[in-house]
Amino acid sequence: MENDKQDADEPVQTHEIGNRTYIVANVDPLDVDGVRTVAVGAILWLVAFVLLLPFYGRLEETDRTWWLWTCLAGFGLGVLGWDYCRRRRKARKAVNAPRRTNHAFDRCHPNSYQICSWSGGGGDHRDRGPPLKGRTLRTVSAWKIRRARWNR
């Protein structure tokens, strides 16, 4: 009931295109990434394949075995599409996720062969954060440099 009162208080948005006026609904957009849609489509192709299997003899008599193989191809392409959509969703989430910054690592020049591994304490430089007073920057092995660049 309260939502109806709030909707009534808000002005109605309209768009005029040509000689027509369209009312724009105040609805939040759906966050559709296609994973569920493609998965349902692939499952439907598989169900059609399984349902056609008992009729293989009749399909072969009428030269319609391609129906069976079309269902199988639809399922296979659906699985590929499902995997693509899953990867795309994962990549989009990774781009939109907040990045963890490490101030100690950021103080080093990205092209130098020194890494922000601070002497004066155990552990990896990513465990510590900004250097404390009295710690000095030291040069580390090429293996640690490659590992640190890989883990960025």
Given a contact cutoff of 8 angstroms between Cβ atoms, the answer to whether 75 and 42 are in contact is: yes
CA separation for the pair 85, 38 (Å, rounded): 8
pLDDT of residue 35: 93
Percent of the chain with pLDDT strictly greater than 70: 58
Residue 24 has pLDDT above 70, yes or no: yes
pLDDT in tens, 66-95: 999 999 999 999 999 999 999 999 998 888
CA separation for the pair 125, 119 (Å, rounded): 9
CA separation for the pair 33, 119 (Å, rounded): 47
Would you state the structure tokens that stand for residue 135, as one six-digit string?
Answer: 């710690």
